[in-house]
Amino acid sequence: MKNIYGFTREMLEEYFIEKNEKKFKALQVFEWLYIHKENLENWTNIKKEIREQIKKDFSFTMPKIVKCERDTLTRKYLFELEDANHIEAVIMYHDYGISICVSSQVGCNMGCAFCESGRLKKVRNLETYEMVSQILLIEEDIKERISSVVIMGIGEPLDNYENVMHFIKIINDAKALAIGIRHITLSTSGIVPKIKKLMQENIQINLAISLHAPNDTLRSKLMKVNEVYNISQLIDAIKEYIAHTNRRVTIEYVMLKGINDSEENACELASLLRGMNIYVNLIPYNETNHIEFKKSEKQVISKFCETLKSKGINVTIRKEFGSKISAACGQLRSKEVEK
């Protein structure tokens, strides 16, 4: 049985047409699900026999929140799925609203050396409804609206392409969560063919690329994906994406003490990115008990940032969130698994 929260409005329109009903009923269903948030029995503008058919054809179940850790401007949620697997999501409070970082897979096969998520391998892709539910359940818990979404939690979004595309359509739908398309960011480790496929979707989301190193030797040590799609291939794909979409791309660069944070690394990174419509987001590393990498010192990050600026690169240092909780991606889940 398919879960109704995994259906885009277009998919529901097709469902109703197959049932010899008017497709506008999909719009009514979306309004009940996402705006009124009423139980099926209370869908007063939909005939009882149609409601009964919907009840037969669809599941309405959601994951369960099993844990929430809180810091000043951050909350991290652990969810239990129907098959007893666990995922997590994080919300962050900003001046401009509340953002959420959602997971797209149970575990991850990218195997990035510094990432807690990749330490526990991929079990399966998340279904679309399991991604949508992360937002719905947290909004219900905090009694506030989430205004921006980052697909940057556990998993590689482009490795779960179809479900992630459906997720984006649902949360962007004006009759669903109505999150502006330019308030949705997809972060990828750099699966080149899927970046090119995403480019053809012609959706104005933000694309973020996890680069984390300025040369192939270092990046291959940190990220297994570089052995398949090297930096040259990735940069070419980013340039193609920018030319096709006319959208600026974010380059994510996690700052690892003594690994990728030298003046030489900064100069090499600037040379690699010069002239591109990008900006670099320097990310202070969230340390974990299982991985030996350490966070670069603040003055080292500042110097790295200034070097990039001096060479004409747009760059910011990401504000640190969740230092007092299991903030690293996959950390809360791994604690639960190890129990």
Active site positions, annotated: 88, 329
The values of phi and psi at residue 4, to 5°, are -65, -25
124-135 exposure pattern, b = at least 16 Cβ within 10 A, e = fewer = ebbbbbbbbbbb
DSSP 8-state code for residue 96:
T
CA 96 vs CA 93, 214, 222: distances in Å: 8, 32, 33
Q: Is the Cβ–Cβ distance between 222 and 260 less than 8 Å?
A: yes
Distance from C-alpha of 33 to C-alpha of 23, rounded to nearest angstrom: 16
Task: Select from 105, 80, 101, 81 the least CA-distant residue to 91.
Answer: 101
Q: Is the Cβ–Cβ distance between 37 and 95 less than 8 Å?
A: no
How many Å separate Cα 332 from the centre of its chain?
16
Q: Is the Cβ–Cβ distance between 178 and 33 less than 8 Å?
A: no
Chain position carrying tokens 């570089």:
226
59 token code pair: 């599941």
Distance from C-alpha of 259 to C-alpha of 88, rounded to nearest angstrom: 28
Chain position carrying tokens 């690169």:
313
DSSP 8-state code for residue 285:
-
The values of phi and psi at residue 26, to 5°, are -65, -40
Chain position carrying tokens 């660069």:
253
User: Nearest 10 degrees: CA dihedral of 147, 151, 152, 157?
Assistant: 180
Kindly state the helix (H) or strand (E) to which residue 210 belongs, with its residue range.
strand 206-210
304 token code pair: 């790295």
